[in-house]
Amino acid sequence: MSALKFVPRGSLVAYGAKIAPIRSACVVSRFFSVAVSHSEVTVEALKGEHDGIRVISLNRPSVRNAFSRKLLGEFSNAIDDVRADSDARVVILRSLVPGVFSAGADLKERLTMSQSDVGAFVNKLRETFSKFEALPQPTVAAIDGAALGGGLELALCADIRTVGKGARVGLPETKLAIIPGAGGTQRLSRLIGISRAKELIFTGRSLDANEAFRWGIANHAVEDGFLKSLELASEMLRSGPIALRAAKAAITTGTPLDLATGLKVEQLCYNEVIPTDDRMEALKAMSEKRPPLFKGR
């Protein structure tokens, strides 16, 4: 079972035998957080003004957050924790390894795999990343460094991406005589268009932060992707928690459908917010000229 640790202001997050510094301490030091340890993956529940934000952090520095079976299993557990957490309103995914978001699949482990092992692992990678994509809360991926191969495929599963200075994103798999196998051929094409996705996948070229922004892979290219992600998540905290989930479901489920069916999906999602206390609270707060206090019910 995961260990719960209370993390005091401006300190290091300790989990298991490891100690990892939280970057961007200027912001993190403003609140307490509760970290759930998964060894190479940490889930933090931010407190104070950021109450409701969960931060999933990858931390496998020796191979630049490359996904082994172990890291993938821990990441899968972290997703389950966040999904089951009814107080989690927005999720940020980031790396604690300086200069890298994730180097993708663990190619050292791959060397030890049989052909059938490879197929099974890639299936698990695809399933786990899809499970992250299917989280009901809005998700933001903070890409501060290289997001290559499976690293970018994972970031593509977030609702929003921010890239920090020094970020590089790309799908270099064809250079390794394989193809992106954790959703990259499908999600990148849907995000930036088929022709641009083909160019990136056929050449295996990576883009810097500004290019990633111009190509439509990232919503924001900034100095520090994590700080921008925190800013976006904080802005979302002002929205009703049930409304956030309903809006995500409406957009994600409805957009791939024809418009008439999509509008029916929107109607079903709207029906979820009509009976909520939060909807009435928003109306009252507006008439009383005060900020609403949402309770997520």
Q: Which residues are near ligand COA by CB under 6 A? A: 63-64, 66, 99-100, 103-108, 146, 148-150, 172-173, 176
**Distance, CA of 74 to CA of 14 (rounded, Å):** 17
Comparing CB distances to ligand COA, the nearer of 179 and 194 is 179
The residues, ordered by sequence, that sit 6+ positions from 152 with a Cβ below 8 Å of its Cβ are 104, 169, 170, 171, 184, 188, 217
Whether 105 is catalytic:
yes
Q: Which residue is nearest to ligand COA (CB)?
A: 149
Question: Which residue among 44, 74, 173, 211 is the active-site one?
Answer: 173
| Minimum distance, C-beta of residue 193 to ligand COA, in the bound complex (Å) | 23
Whether 173 is catalytic:
yes
Whether 153 is catalytic:
yes
**Distance, CA of 5 to CA of 13 (rounded, Å):** 8
Question: Which residue among 45, 66, 105, 233 is the active-site one?
Answer: 105
Phi, psi of 295 (to 5 degrees): -115, -5
| Minimum distance, C-beta of residue 214 to ligand COA, in the bound complex (Å) | 21
CA dihedral sign, ordered 217, 183, 80, 294: positive
Comparing CB distances to ligand COA, the nearer of 201 and 246 is 201
| Minimum distance, C-beta of residue 267 to ligand COA, in the bound complex (Å) | 42
Comparing CB distances to ligand COA, the nearer of 44 and 106 is 106
**Distance, CA of 27 to CA of 9 (rounded, Å):** 10
Tracing tokens 């107080």 back to the chain, one arrives at: 87
Comparing CB distances to ligand COA, the nearer of 19 and 176 is 176
The residues, ordered by sequence, that sit 6+ positions from 230 with a Cβ below 8 Å of its Cβ are 24, 27, 50, 53, 92
Comparing CB distances to ligand COA, the nearer of 112 and 116 is 112
Contact 169, 212 (CB under 8 A): yes
The structure tokens listed for 12 are 């290091």
From the number of C-beta atoms within 10 Å of its C-beta (0-12, 13-18, 19+), residue 183 rates as buried
Whether 44 is catalytic:
no
From the number of C-beta atoms within 10 Å of its C-beta (0-12, 13-18, 19+), residue 110 rates as middle
Comparing CB distances to ligand COA, the nearer of 35 and 156 is 156
| Minimum distance, C-beta of residue 70 to ligand COA, in the bound complex (Å) | 13
| Minimum distance, C-beta of residue 23 to ligand COA, in the bound complex (Å) | 16
**Distance, CA of 236 to CA of 81 (rounded, Å):** 21
**Distance, CA of 88 to CA of 101 (rounded, Å):** 23
| Minimum distance, C-beta of residue 206 to ligand COA, in the bound complex (Å) | 8
Question: Which residue among 153, 183, 221, 243 is the active-site one?
Answer: 153
Which residues are catalytically annotated? 105, 150, 153, 173
